[in-house]
Amino acid sequence: MCGTASLDACLDAVRGGTLIPYLGAGVAALGRSTVPSAPTALAALLENEVRAPKRASGNLWAVAQFVESRRFRGTLDAIVERAFAGGIRDNPVHDWLAAVAPPLVIDTWYDDGLLAAYAERAESWGWVQGATRNGQWTPVWTRAYDAAGELCPEGPDPRWNSLIYKPHGVAKKGLGFLMSDSDYVEVLTEIDIQTPIPDEVKARRERRGFLFLGCRFDDQMLRIFARQIMKRSAGPHFALIAGDLTRMERRFLDEQGIERIDLDLTAATKALTVAA
């Protein structure tokens, strides 16, 4: 599959519930948005507030750890929450997904744009997000919320028609997110045996493949999470990525059996809208 024809087929599969959309930071650049739309952009924003050493510069997770270590967690939270406070609205990817409400959506960026779109358009849905264990004594990996934003102590409801999984959390006060190295230390220790991934996510991915939108795989953390979230899914898998790939990206796509569609996400906005 390649080009526009395959994108149309993939969108039909998302609408039919056989492909799971997997959203990366690049989706944030669409629609009305003032939030960072790449890990490097968010790292630069943090570095504008707190100068990081050269060895950490440009690496979001390392810069976040430096800010947390030198200025405490509250400073990191405040900077990141402020960066995402403007939100994302009128985003064609978010709006389309809220309209078709597939069984599962993976949203890996820190914004709440997809949650806002669902709140306006979708019924019978909720979300589950990664929860930091940094400084916590309780063995909590995730927290689930219903469409009204109420905490669901028992986890995601299997009766929800659509479930949003935000593995890195949400940069909004009261919700929390994973970003510093210390946030991830236990997650990365356990993720290979799938412990941090919610059971309902595992159940909904089992007979489906993935469609990656707005994702790049030039960062080890992003590859680790994609690999583990895809684990034991049925496939096939596709990624909308235009232009040149890094050596590690090509290797990752080959290893995971992900077929690339060489189209720009912005250029595909029309197809996403038409497919609604």
Q: Identify the residue with better confidence: 185 or 146.
A: 146
| In the predicted structure, residue 1 carries a pLDDT above the cut 60 | no
Look over the chain and give the mean of its residue pLDDT values, rounded to a whole number: 93
Nearest CA to 194 out of 229, 226, 167 is that of: 229
Single out the residue of 113, 108, 112 nearest to residue 93, CA to CA: 113
| In the chain, where the domains are located | 3-33+88-274, 36-83
Q: Is the pLDDT of residue 268 over 90?
A: no
When pLDDT is cut at 50, 70 and 90, the band that residue 32 belongs to is confident
pLDDT at 275 over 60: no
What digits encode the pLDDT tens for the residues 189-234?
A: 999 999 999 999 999 999 999 999 999 999 999 999 999 999 999 9
d(CA 76, CA 137): 21
pLDDT tens sequence across 134-144: 666 567 899 99
- Give the DSSP letter of residue 257: T
Q: What is the mean pLDDT of the segment spanning 79-101?
A: 94
CB contact at 8 A, 91 and 26? no
Is 3-33+88-274 assigned to CATH 3.40.50?
yes
Using pLDDT thresholds of 50, 70 and 90, give the confidence band for residue 270. confident
Query: Percent of the chain having pLDDT more than 90?
Result: 85
Res. 14 pLDDT band, cuts 50 70 90: very high
pLDDT tens profile 96-118: 999 999 999 999 999 999 999 99
Q: Please, which contacts does 133-136 make with residues 24 or more away whose CB atoms are closer than 8 Å?
A: 133/183, 133/186, 133/187, 134/73, 134/180, 134/182, 134/183, 135/73
Contact 109, 33 (CB under 8 A): no
Q: Which of 165, 44, 189 is nearest to 109 (CA)?
A: 165
Distance CA 260, CA 257 (A): 10
What's the mean pLDDT in 49-77?
94
Cα–Cα distance between 239 and 213 in angstroms, integer?
6
